[in-house]
């Protein structure tokens, strides 16, 4: 798409994936997935274990190169074969992992700063300032000198979020950001994610936090067996009287987590 087309077409998505296919170990783990993330929108990916949510998110930034299909950022198709282009693309796409993946040999500050120095070429001073600002944003300025082994799970995930945000990403991919956390630590991470959404960050998040994401998401994508089988606003899919698979799946996992009803009552879902 040329620059002129983009100007004419104001609603070109921030991130778009068309017909992604990925086969792993003989399994067609992604079986033709397409999705578009308009600027500022939040989409939530749900579905049973093994549906392919993590695989999809990792294909979106080429950590797992898709076998077929293509990905565009702001209307420009990404050439996954060019290493330089991939590095530039990944800087604009932040990723949050279920198990944090902080660099264990670096302090919180250094974790946030390292890519600013190595990738963005900032001076150490400039990078430190920026990193401290990001740590302050997630409420961890006073933990800057601590190493990952001395941080709680919730703190680690917030450092990981600060690390991703420091790169000034245009899109964030979040893969079950709270699934590895003790229940009492989930809230602090969700609060940071909520702030991000309110600031207009474009996001796609795989999660089992149904009621939280219902209050945040513009759209739910329900995945099963490598396909997106249902999509719609939380109200459409989860509202009273809905017969959707999403509805029955959410009811089931809410039962399991002991918050039955809470998710599907939906006092505060986003219409």
Ligand X SMILES: Nc1ncnc2c1ncn2[C@@H]1O[C@H](COP(=O)(O)OP(=O)(O)OP(=O)(O)O)[C@@H](O)[C@H]1O
Q: Tell me which residues touch another protein (CB under 8 A).
A: 58, 61, 63, 83, 87-91, 93-95, 97, 99, 101-105, 107, 114-115, 118-119, 146-150, 160, 163-164, 167
Shortest distance, CB of residue 177 to ligand X, whole angstroms? 12
Nearer to ligand X, 27 or 72 (CB): 27
Closest separation between CB of residue 51 and ligand X, Å? Answer: 4
DSSP strand E in 123-258: where?
A: 171-175, 202-206, 219-224, 227-232
Q: Supply the angle between the helices 108-118 and 153-165 in degrees, to the nearest 10.
A: 20
| Closest approach of another protein to the CB of residue 55, in Å | 13
| Residue 142: CB minimum distance to another protein, A | 16
Footprint (CB under 5 A) of Mg ion, residues 20-59: 54
Collapsed DSSP state (helix, strand, coil) of residue 53 = helix
What minimum distance in Å lies between the beta carbon of 57 and ligand X?
Answer: 8
- Select 41 or 56, whichever has its Cβ closest to ligand X: 56
Please identify, using beta-carbon distances, which residue of 71 and 214 lies nearer to another protein.
71
Closer to ligand X at the Cβ: 20 or 37? 20
> Which pair of tokens denotes residue 133?
């600002």
Check residue 207 for interaction with Mg ion (CB under 5 A).
no
**Residue whose C-beta lies closest to Mg ion:** 54
Residue 209 interacting with Mg ion (CB under 5 A): no
- The Cα–Cα gap between 40 and 204 comes to 10
Strands (E), 2-49: 15-24, 27-37, 42-46
Residue 50 contact, options another protein, ligand X, Mg ion, none, Cβ 5-8 Å cut-off depending on partner type:
ligand X
Four-residue CA torsion sign, 259, 260, 263, 268: negative
User: What angle separates helix 124-137 from helix 108-118, to the nearest 10 degrees?
Assistant: 130
**Among ligand X, another protein, Mg ion, none, what binds residue 240 when CB lies within 5 to 8 Å by partner kind?**
none
Rounded Cα distance between 103 and 148, Å, is 8
Structure tokens at 87: 């590095």
Pick between residue 57 and residue 201 the one whose CB is nearest to Mg ion: 57
83 binding partner (options Mg ion, another protein, ligand X, none; Cβ < 5 to 8 Å by kind): another protein
Question: CB–CB of 200/43 below 8 Å?
Answer: no
Q: Which segments of the chain does DSSP mark as H helices, in order?
A: 3-8, 53-60, 83-91, 108-118, 124-137, 153-165, 183-198, 210-214, 234-238, 245-256, 262-265
| Binding footprint of Mg ion on the chain (CB under 5 A) | 54
């Amino acid at each position: 798409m040329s620059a002129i087309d983009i100007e004419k077409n104001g609603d070109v998505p921030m991130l778009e994936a068309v017909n992604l296919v990925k086969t792993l170990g003989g399994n067609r783990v992604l079986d033709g997935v397409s999705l578009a993330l308009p600027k500022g929108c939040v989409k939530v990916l749900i579905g049973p274990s093994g549906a392919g949510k993590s695989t999809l998110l990792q294909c979106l930034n080429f950590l797992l190169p898709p076998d077929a299909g293509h990905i565009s950022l702001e209307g420009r198709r990404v050439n996954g074969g060019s290493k330089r282009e991939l590095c530039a693309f990944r800087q604009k796409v932040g990723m949050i992992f279920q198990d944090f993946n902080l660099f264990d040999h670096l302090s919180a500050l250094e974790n946030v700063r390292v890519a600013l120095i190595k990738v963005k070429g900032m001076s150490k001073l400039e990078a430190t300032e920026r990193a401290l600002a990001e740590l302050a944003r997630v409420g961890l300025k006073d933990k800057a000198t601590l190493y990952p082994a001395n941080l709680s799970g919730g703190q680690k995930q917030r450092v990981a979020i600060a690390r991703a945000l420091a790169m000034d990403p245009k899109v964030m991919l979040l893969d079950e950001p709270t699934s590895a956390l003790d229940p009492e630590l989930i809230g602090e991470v969700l609060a940071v994610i909520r702030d991000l959404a309110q600031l207009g960050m474009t996001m796609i998040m795989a999660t089992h936090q149904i009621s939280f994401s219902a209050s945040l998401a513009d759209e739910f994508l329900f995945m099963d067996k490598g396909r997106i089988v249902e999509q719609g606003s939380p109200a459409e899919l989860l509202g009273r009287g809905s017969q959707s698979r999403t509805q029955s799946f959410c009811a089931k996992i809410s039962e399991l987590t002991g918050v039955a009803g809470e998710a599907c009552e939906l006092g505060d879902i986003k219409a």
